Amino acid sequence: MSCRTAPVTVDMDMQPYIVKGIGGFYYVKTSAGVVECRARGVFRKRGVTPLAGDNVRLTPDGAAIAEILPRKSCFVRPPVANLDVLFVVAATAQPAPSTLILDQLLAAALYQNVQPVLVITKADLAAADFLCAAYRTSGIPLVQLDYAAGAGLDELRGYIAGHLCAFCGNSGVGKSTLLNALAPELARETGAISQKLGRGRHTTREVEIFEVCGGRIADTPGFASLDAQRLGHIPKEELETTFPDFAPYRGQCRFIGCSHRREKGCAVRAAVEAGAITQSRYQSYLAMYEIAGQYKEWEHAPQDR
């Protein structure tokens, strides 16, 4: 990636966006190229930090970020704004999938109005029946990959086209293999940058955005299952809204404000018993509700949404 350090006149026909931020410098993609600039001091006074993915306006000389446009989504860990799609990658084996962790990631995406897509890898090691059954009624898109047959890759490219996307999942699920299969040029570009910086790609904590497959992919080191509970607190009262499979039954419970746990006349529990909502999804909801109930606002720093 080439970065301009001299002042430039920015063509506003293209909406500039932050590719990467490091050490107080921000690299902004514009129609004139990638511009290295600072952020105006007003952001620090307001307690606002520019993030990769932010759409911005620059000063006329292109030397500074003058304005951050409204965000449609914002994750703090990793720090990235305006994601459209989050691919949650799960392997059938090695490592074995945890539906609770997957559901935490899926819910975090939906809470931020980001479209989650569940991607299943390593079907050659174990059947994907368990995961397919667990999410058959979830309302969340599921893509099974078969590299030998090329199955699933075009479907993922369709989600990427025209959107800003990120991949997450536990270590070892095959995210790197998947990215290399989708966009071999991405590995070459990130490798060249790592060599230029004199460090390994995975030692950096900065998010960086690359344009591939007709869209954008945010390379997000550390965006793994261990960050599931750090992506953003979901109040227990709003948790049900992050389970699309609950949607047909909301408002049908006997009691207003039903938590769908022990109340009589609960339409969600009835749907679980009827098999319209899978047991694994419901058990994840119960576990996440318990976690949300233990959350204390004063123990956590405020977070932009």
35-88 residue pLDDT tens? 999 999 888 888 899 999 999 999 998 899 999 999 999 987 778 999 999 999
Confidence check: pLDDT of 12 > 60: no
Residue 127 has pLDDT above 90, yes or no: no
pLDDT score for 252: 95
Instruction: Report yes or no: 166 and 173 within 8 Å, Cβ to Cβ.
Output: no
Q: Which residues contact 1 (CB under 8 A, 6 or more apart)?
A: 19, 27, 34, 189, 193
| Residues 81 and 213 placed together within one structural domain of the fold | yes
- Note the pLDDT of residue 303: 45
Regarding whether 161 and 44 lie in a shared domain, the answer is: no
Question: Distance between CA 250 and CA 264 in Å, rounded?
Answer: 14
pLDDT digits (tens, 9 = 90+) for 140-186: 999 998 888 878 899 999 999 999 999 887 777 778 888 888 888 77
User: What are the backbone angles phi and psi of residue 94, rounded to the nearest 5°?
Assistant: 50, 65
62 lies in the same domain as 157: no
Rounded to whole angstroms, the Cα distance separating 235 from 232 reads 10
The answer to whether position 304 is within a domain reads no
Which residue, chain included where needed, has tokens 């509700």? 289
Q: How far, in Å, CA of 288 to CA of 80, rounded? A: 24
Q: Amino acid identity, residue 170? A: N
For residue 113, the domain's CATH number is 3.40.50.300
Same domain? For 206 and 138 the reply is yes
Q: Is the same domain home to 166 and 25?
A: no
Same domain, residue pair 79 and 220: yes
Domain boundary (208, 226, 244) is at 226
Q: Measured between alpha carbons, how far is 288 from 241 in angstroms, rounded to an integer?
A: 13
Q: Do 249 and 280 sit in the same domain of this protein?
A: yes
* Domain assignment of residue 26, given as a range: 3-70
Domain of 55, CATH number, reads 2.40.50.140
Average pLDDT rounded to a whole number, residues 98-122: 92
301 within some domain: no
Backbone φ and ψ for 164, nearest 5 degrees, come out as -100, 125
For residue 230, pLDDT over 60 is answered with no
State the pTM of this model.
0.83
CATH of the domain at 253: 1.10.40.50
On whether residue 186 sits in a domain, the answer given is yes
Predicted local distance difference test score (pLDDT) of residue 5: 29
* Whole-number CA gyration radius for the chain: 21
At residue 101, does pLDDT exceed 60? yes
Residue 264 has pLDDT above 70, yes or no: yes
pLDDT at 186: 72
Establish if 55 belongs to a structural domain: yes
Q: State whether 145 and 238 are in the same domain.
A: no
Last residue of a domain, one of 70, 88, 123: 70
- Same domain (yes/no): 94, 192: yes
Same domain, 29 and 136: no
Residue 255: inside a domain: yes
Average of per-residue pLDDT values in the chain: 83
Task: Kindly state the percentage of the chain with pLDDT values over 90.
Answer: 53
pLDDT number for residue 223? 56
Average pLDDT over residues 248-264: 94
Same domain, 127 and 183: yes
How does residue 9 score in pLDDT terms, banded at 50, 70 and 90? Answer: very low
| 305 located within any domain | no
Query: Domain for residue 86, yes or no?
Result: yes
What percent of the chain has pLDDT above 70?
82
Average pLDDT over residues 92-109: 88
> Which of 226, 247, 281 is the C-terminal boundary of a domain?
226
Domain count, the chain: 3
Q: Residue 106: which pLDDT band, with cuts at 50, 70 and 90? A: very high
